[in-house]
Structure formats: C-alpha cells, structure tokens
C-alpha cells in the first residue's frame, strides 16, 4: 500500500512538471511602467511524518528594477519534494533579463538563465541570448508580442549522458485577451530550432484560461506542452500536462 501511494505521488508530480524544459517568463513579467523597484517572494517548507517522512520546499521570487527605458528582471523558482528516501521533485531555474525600449514598438532584450530538472534527465542547462521583441498590439483588453532571439545553450545530461553546446533561435508569440471582464485567456508558443540542423527543434506552449463565474467563484485551466525532437534517451518527444481547478473567495 505504501509503495502504491509513493508511486502515485511520483506519477502525479511527474505529469505536472514534465514541461519544465522551456521556461515561459511572459506570465511572470510586471506590467507596471513605473520607475523603481517592485517584487515579491514566496517560501514554503513542510515536513510530514507518518509511515514515512515527506519533506517539501519551494521558493518563487520576482524582482524588477526600471529606470526610464531600461528594465531589469530577476526570477528564481525552486521546488523539492522527498518522501520515503526518494526524491519525487527537484527542479528549478534562475533567470536574469535586461530590456531596453528603443522606440515604440521595438524593445531589445538580453538574458541569461540556469536550469536543472533531473526528472527530464537535465542535470544542468545554461542559456545566454539577445534579440528584438516587438509589440504587435497593446490595448486594455488585448496584448500581443512577438520575439526572435539568438540563444547559446549548454546542456549537461544526467546519468553519464552527453554534453551539448548548441546555437538556437528562440522565437515566441504571446498574447493575452480579456473578454467581458469575466474571461481571460493567455498563451505563449515557443519555436526553438537549432541553427544548422532544421530537424532539431522544440515547440512549447503554455496557456491558461480563467473564468470569473461570480464574485465568489473562479474557474482556472492550465495547459503545458513540449515537443522536442532530440530528447534524452528514455524521455518521450511529446510531454504535456492539463490542470483544472476552482478558486473560492469568501
């Protein structure tokens, strides 16, 4: 019974975090345009002892500094769950991005990122890149942006796997639509081909739908998908997760 419970937890967390290979920072940007600092951070730490010990830790941090046309954004996300001597979740990333608004609608961006996710056999990933970001539409009920950035990538695969040094294009299209003040849809789609090898590419999508049903009840649905033509051995090319939930306010 205990083994079945632990196996269930492992499969649950595996399905929830499989798409961590491509990080979507679009839904983590601050929308304010005021000079100065803004940020937030959350910590969680839990210990449960019954037939076995369950330890979990999590931290999410967002910090932004803006001065006139320049903007610096730092993100940290780390999660760890260990139960019965087995690690079911151990992933995280740190992201630093500099943005300079050249002129409407053009912004130039440079970024660097570290990342790890042993569940997907990714021991360590380092990224650095830069390129243009274009504002296609910005209205009170709709925002659309597109970007095409050059990206240098270093991957260290777990369990004695190979190391990769690659040059890629990281392009994406992101939008947010608000309908009738009760429905909000956000979606970001990435396309990351390897330069010089059109057969090596990633397609990722991160979407969320939120419906304000009444002043007490919200419905939320999130969908994540990753298709990678060159996944490590033992990891499927296509992984995805679909999560639904209700939020009650009182």
Tell me the pLDDT tens digit for each residue of 216-231.
899 999 999 999 998 8
How many domains does the chain divide into? 1
At residue 120, the pLDDT reads 75
Is the per-residue pLDDT at 208 higher than 90? yes
Query: Would the pTM of this model clear 0.85, i.e. be above it?
Result: no
What's the rounded mean pLDDT across residues 188-197?
A: 96
pLDDT, position 19? 42
DSSP 8-state assignment for residue 196: T
CA–CA gap between residue 238 and residue 240 (Å, rounded): 7
CATH classification at residue 193 = 2.40.160
Nearest to 121 by CA among 61, 177, 181, 162: 162
CA distance 130 to 112: 9
| Residue in the structure block whose two tokens are 């967390």 | 13
State mean pLDDT over 183-191.
95
Let me know: does 39 contact 66? Beta carbons within 8 Å: no
Q: Residues near 236 by Cβ (< 8 Å), separated by ≥ 6?
A: none
- The CA–CA distances, whole Å, from 84 to 15, 47, 51, 58, 196 equal 20, 12, 9, 19, 46
> Of all residues in the chain, what percent carry a pLDDT higher than 70?
90
**Cα separation, 170 vs 150, whole angstroms:** 6
pLDDT in tens, 47-90: 888 877 888 999 999 999 999 999 999 999 998 888 877 777 78
Nearest in space to 16 (alpha carbons), one of 117, 121, 122: 117
Q: Name the residue range of residue 143's domain.
A: 2-248
8 Å CB contact between 87 and 71: no
Angle at 42 between CA 40 and CA 46, to 5 degrees: 175
Residues near 54 by beta carbon (within 8 Å), at least 6 away in sequence: 46, 47, 48, 81, 82, 83, 84
User: CA 205, CA 25: separation in Å to the nearest integer?
Assistant: 12
Contact 207, 223 (CB under 8 A): yes
* Predicted confidence (pLDDT) at residue 18 exceeds the cutoff of 60: no
């Amino acid at each position: 019974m205990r083994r079945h419970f632990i196996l269930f937890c492992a499969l649950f967390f595996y399905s929830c975090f499989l798409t961590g290979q491509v990080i979507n920072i679009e839904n983590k940007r601050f929308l304010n345009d005021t000079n100065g600092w803004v940020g937030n951070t959350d910590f969680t730490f839990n210990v449960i002892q019954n037939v076995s010990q369950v330890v979990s830790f999590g931290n999410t941090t967002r910090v932004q500094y803006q001065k006139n046309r320049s903007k610096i954004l730092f993100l940290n996300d780390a999660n760890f769950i260990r139960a019965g001597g087995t690690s079911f979740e151990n992933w995280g990333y740190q992201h630093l991005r500099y943005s300079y608004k050249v002129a409407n609608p053009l912004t130039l961006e440079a970024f660097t990122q570290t990342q790890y996710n042993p569940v997907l056999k990714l021991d360590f990933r380092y990224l650095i890149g830069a390129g243009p970001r274009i504002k296609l539409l910005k209205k009170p009920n709709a925002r659309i942006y597109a970007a095409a950035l050059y990206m240098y990538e270093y991957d260290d695969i777990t369990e004695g796997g190979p190391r990769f040094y690659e040059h890629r294009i990281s392009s994406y299209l992101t939008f947010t639509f608000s309908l009738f003040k009760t429905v909000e849809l956000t979606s970001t789609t990435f396309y990351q081909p390897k330069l010089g090898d059109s057969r090596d590419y990633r397609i990722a999508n991160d979407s969320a739908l939120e419906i304000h049903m009444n002043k007490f009840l919200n419905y939320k649905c999130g969908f994540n998908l990753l298709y990678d033509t060159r996944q490590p051995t033992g990891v499927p090319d296509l992984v995805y997760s679909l999560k639904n939930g209700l939020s009650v306010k009182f």
